[in-house]
Structure 1
């Protein structure tokens, strides 16, 4: 199982590039960034990270085609692959909770626009895109050689997971219970033919299953959980299929209270229960984190994207716990 670190772009991108090099030196398999309009731009950051590193994969977890048109995504993906020597993975998602609340973007069909976005990126990578979609249209070609690169879709619900299995190389999802991992595999790997994009993404059982999670290492588990409550609020109280509540191992009443609070802009950390933290994050001493990662690998997870709150010191602590 690959162990990948995230670098937060709440710092200068030159510092992010230095941190990416640190992650590579520590033995991580990849370094990924989130693409948010309220942080620094992911594309130049990834270019600097590519120049600072030699081995690790680089990726977005995730970028939305509602902020970057799929034609632009095809160009930036090809450019980043050119800079990195083919190490870039495009992690793609329809958008987070802030799209509706902060940008007034309410897409009619996240499933449809995601399919269209992948079709355009793939078409341009292969030479030309001729897509007339409900959300996106592209008629044209890139004016430089691109070639295919891996595309991972962010997904939680059964339909998006199935779409990832049909058209993508992997799925990035949240949820750490064994039941949830089985749920994801059942839906994603129902389409083993998929769209694998190269030797590094060859698949026997379908697209890669990738868990994205926050980690807080502390010998005091309760202190670690408290630190994680704000960081998993949207994951626990977001708009996901109700059938997943039981799969995650959560109490429906607790989820309902948190969802209602978030709609009212109430972000009190105490609304996030211990169950919620443990459903989406790892909290506790290094040996606990290491044991859980081994459980994920045994359950068939292909990669984990691990996020810590701080900088180099926290990244080093994470590496000590997870790199074997």
Structure 2
């Protein structure tokens, strides 16, 4: 219970990934929070959200589609990508085959990452993260590179982007860069 009267009814955002939950999110939510960084993840997601909104008699264009991304930015692209690898390793380890295959990541490669994590060899798991995995599960690079990737998400139907962990190899510098990037989209 709130100790004050809100100035408006707060919007409801539903976290969803699979087809049924995305449809339900479109039916009941004001927005959908999807833990994904790649436009491919939104191709079908937006269709399910739209179908749910239409079933509920809602205008699908009024539903926020939010990409909760693994985000890393630095003036040095390689440093930004290196900073994203620990997060990406855990995403790869937790992703099912059908998701991995969409990006050309083999079960064998993912199993090696899983095995390393299972043994507590986090450095080993990070070392197994390749460019295919980074591109599938993160937005990482220079300000120009990440801006381009954000634009791809917007073209896929995303309306908001959450710049999630790790942000970058140097947090303060990354936050300053993120501010400049965000200002391009206002």
* TM-score clears 0.5: yes
Conserved in 2, the CA contact under 8 Å of 1:289 and 1:322?
Answer: no
Conserved in 2, the CA contact under 8 Å of 1:188 and 1:206?
Answer: no
Conserved in 1, the CA contact under 8 Å of 2:31 and 2:66?
Answer: yes
TM-score (norm 1): 0.48
After superposition, residues 11-90 of structure 1 pair within 5 angstroms as 75=1, 78=2, 82=6, 85-86=7-8
Conserved in 2, the CA contact under 8 Å of 1:192 and 1:205?
Answer: no
After superposition, residues 173-322 of structure 1 pair within 5 angstroms as 173-193=34-54, 203-205=59-61, 207-238=63-94, 240-268=95-123, 269-307=126-164, 308-309=167-168, 311-322=171-182
Deviations 1:53-77 (A, max 9, x none): xxxxxxxxxxxxxxxxxxxxxx3xx
C-alpha distance in 2 between matches for 1:297 and 1:80: 36
Three-state SS of the structure 2 residue aligned to 1:150 is: coil
C-alpha distance in 2 between matches for 1:190 and 1:306: 27
- Which consecutive unaligned segments of at least 5 residues does structure 2 have? none
- Which consecutive unaligned segments of at least 5 residues does structure 1 have? 1-74, 87-147, 197-201
Q: Residue 191 and residue 217 in structure 1: after superposition, are their counterparts in 2 closer, same or farther (change >3 A)? A: same
- Greater helix share, 1 or 2? 2
Deviations 1:263-322 (A, max 9, x none): 444423113222222222222211111122122112211110013255544211111233
Which structure has the larger Rg over C-alpha atoms? 1
Residue 213 of structure 1 and its aligned partner are, at CA, apart by 1.3
Q: RMSD across aligned C-alpha pairs, in angstroms?
A: 2.9
Deviations 1:77-128 (A, max 9, x none): x55873xx44xxxxxxxxxxxxxxxxxxxxxxxxxxxxxxxxxxxxxxxxxx
For these two proteins, the number of residue pairs brought into alignment is: 179
**Which residue number corresponds to residue 169 of structure 1?**
30
Residue 210 of structure 1 and its aligned partner are, at CA, apart by 0.8
Q: Relative CO higher for 1 or 2, CA cutoff 8 Å, sep ≥ 6?
A: 2
TM-score (norm 2): 0.78
Conserved in 2, the CA contact under 8 Å of 1:194 and 1:207?
Answer: no
Deviations 1:152-188 (A, max 9, x none): 2222233332332232222212333332210211222
